[in-house]
Amino acid sequence: MNLPNYQEAKTRDERSYKRVNFEFDTKIKNKYKGKKFYLKTYGCQMNEHDSENIEALLCNLGFSKVDDYNDADLVLLNTCSIRENAHNKAFGMLGRIKHLKSEKKDLIVGLCGCMAQEASVVDEIMRDYKFVNFVFGTHNMYQLPNILDKAIKENRQEIEVFSREGDLVEGLPVVRANKYKAYVNIIYGCNKFCTYCIVPYTRGKERSRLKEDILKEVDELIQDGYKEITLLGQNVNAYGKDLYDDYTLGNLLEDIAKKDIPRIRFMTSHPWDFTDSMIEVLGKYPNIMPSVHLPVQSGSNRILKLMGRRYTKESYLELFNKIKKTVPNVAISTDIIVGFPGETEEDFQETLDLVETCKYDNAFTFIFSKREGTPACKLKDDVSLEEKEERLQRLNEVVNKYFLENNKKLEGKEVLVLVEGVSEKKKMYFGYSDTNKLINFSSNRDLEVGSIVKVKITSAKTWSLDGEEVE
């Protein structure tokens, strides 16, 4: 048994990582043939991509996937810790599974992902959720086959969570959820330690993958017919810093952009690490999509400082304007937290003012949520829930106004759309534009999913646009 420990999880030192190539033990291939698994994923794209690896591991073991947990022999929850409601969702699901397990004694239940890295969660699982057969964390996903085996054989709760990162594992099998759009991890972990955020504890130290490994994966995706790749990391702009003297995200983007891949995206960018040379690369290559997620969190310098964000409103705006000027037709999206401890009405007003200035194309807005073990958890949370909710609502009204206003500007214009699907009934297609906007459109021809077509926008809504294909 290995239990999580926050003290260790926040350690950052100069250890170098062994890079190991995962090999699936052929002796256990199809060991569970005929068994079915249900995998539920919470949280961000990183978790979604981890689930693609978990699914592949389970398929190699002979499991097949089901969409209803009532039909499953194995239920696995890949969890998220970012806000309290993510926790609540996973625990709510565990409650339902407990009920199922009381009827289906052989059901195997597992929990993994970011919540598994939290000591308090694991304590709770050991105390109140004894029916959970196994728990593993974000650093030892590759051990799933052994952990599962042990949990079944030894018939006791198996908890294997590493607080510190181990080796950097390459070559995990993957079952991708989409045939045309793929996620590619470029950097794991986060060193920023924003005071409200749990990710540096649950995902560990920043570790970049070797550029050769990334470029090889991209080549394979191109060979397999993928049209869009999204480079993933909690802070992709820190890519390479731990490995190279002079190879950054800008260089990586450039090397990928020279390949025959129509669409490249990346997320998420921390404003602190955004360099001029990266911005130039974004402006230079048409296959790097003009869409940048640039989380601001707050428009008040006082709050930004308390959040440990390492930039001011002024330096953020300077960066924002540079990106807008250098990258043609770029759409910028953001994340904002309201109700951070000590946020006054004036601070909040500054956030609203910043949104009025930036007129974001998209924004994810959140109420501050206390995360145990983070520095902000110790601050006096003096904004009432009522006030937080009211601020969120006021903020959403302003951000929504600009979503619509930006979308309206596209009316009458032509945009390129990667076709993702068709609703048979009305023969309407849908897909995303280069700036990542959802487009519903009609066409006179039969279009193939995965093709990129030109669509003329006929009408704009707040969260989507309507159009028709122009041949």
CB of 14 to ligand SF4, least distance (A): 20
CB of 425 to ligand SF4, least distance (A): 41
Q: Which amino acid is at 446?
A: D
Contacts of residue 264, defined as CB under 8 A and 6 or more positions apart, other chains included, come to 228, 229, 230, 231, 253, 256, 257, 285, 287, 288, 289
> Residue 197 interacts with ligand SF4 (CB under 6 A)?
yes
How far, in Å, CA of 86 to CA of 84, rounded? 5
Contacts of residue 238, defined as CB under 8 A and 6 or more positions apart, other chains included, come to 187, 191, 206, 208, 249, 270, 273
Q: Using the minimum distance from each CB to ligand SAH, give the nearer residue, 60 or 297.
A: 297
Of residues 321-360, which lie at the interface with ligand F3S (CB under 6 A)?
A: none
Q: Using the minimum distance from each CB to ligand F3S, give the nearer residue, 12 or 130.
A: 12
Q: Using the minimum distance from each CB to ligand SF4, give the nearer residue, 60 or 298.
A: 298
Of residues 156-215, which lie at the interface with ligand SAH (CB under 6 A)?
A: 196-197
CB of 197 to ligand SF4, least distance (A): 3
> Residue 227 interacts with ligand SF4 (CB under 6 A)?
no
Q: Work out what residue 200 binds among ligand SAH, ligand F3S, ligand SF4, none; the CB cut-off runs from 5 to 8 Å by kind.
A: ligand SF4
How far, in Å, CA of 286 to CA of 350, rounded? 35
How far, in Å, CA of 390 to CA of 396, rounded? 10
CB of 166 to ligand SAH, least distance (A): 22
Q: Which amino acid is at 213?
A: D
Of residues 270-329, which lie at the interface with ligand SAH (CB under 6 A)?
A: 270, 295, 297
Of 440, 402, 388, the C-alpha closest to 419 is 440
Out of 47, 60, 81, 234, the only residue in the binding site for ligand SAH (CB under 6 A) is 234
Site string for ligand SAH, 56-75 (x = CB under 6 A): --------------------
Maximum separation of any 2 CA atoms in the chain, in Å: 65
Q: Using the minimum distance from each CB to ligand SAH, give the nearer residue, 340 or 432.
A: 340
Beta-bridge partner residues of 240: none
The CA-atom distances, in angstroms, between 453 and each of 225, 317, 339, 427 are 16, 34, 43, 16
Of 236, 241, 244, the C-alpha closest to 265 is 236
The token pair at 250 is: 């800008």
How far, in Å, CA of 9 to CA of 199, rounded? 10
Q: Residues 401, 403, 409, 410: is their CA dihedral positive or negative? A: negative
CB of 376 to ligand SAH, least distance (A): 7
Beta-carbon count within 10 A of 168 CB: 17
Of residues 230-269, which lie at the interface with ligand SF4 (CB under 6 A)?
A: 234-235
> Residue 141 interacts with ligand F3S (CB under 6 A)?
no
Chain positions contacting ligand SAH, by CB under 6 A = 82-83, 196-197, 234-235, 268, 270, 295, 297, 335, 337, 366, 368-369, 371
Chain positions contacting ligand SF4, by CB under 6 A = 190, 192-194, 197, 199-200, 234-235, 270
Chain positions contacting ligand F3S, by CB under 6 A = 43-44, 46-47, 80-82, 113-114, 198-199, 202-203
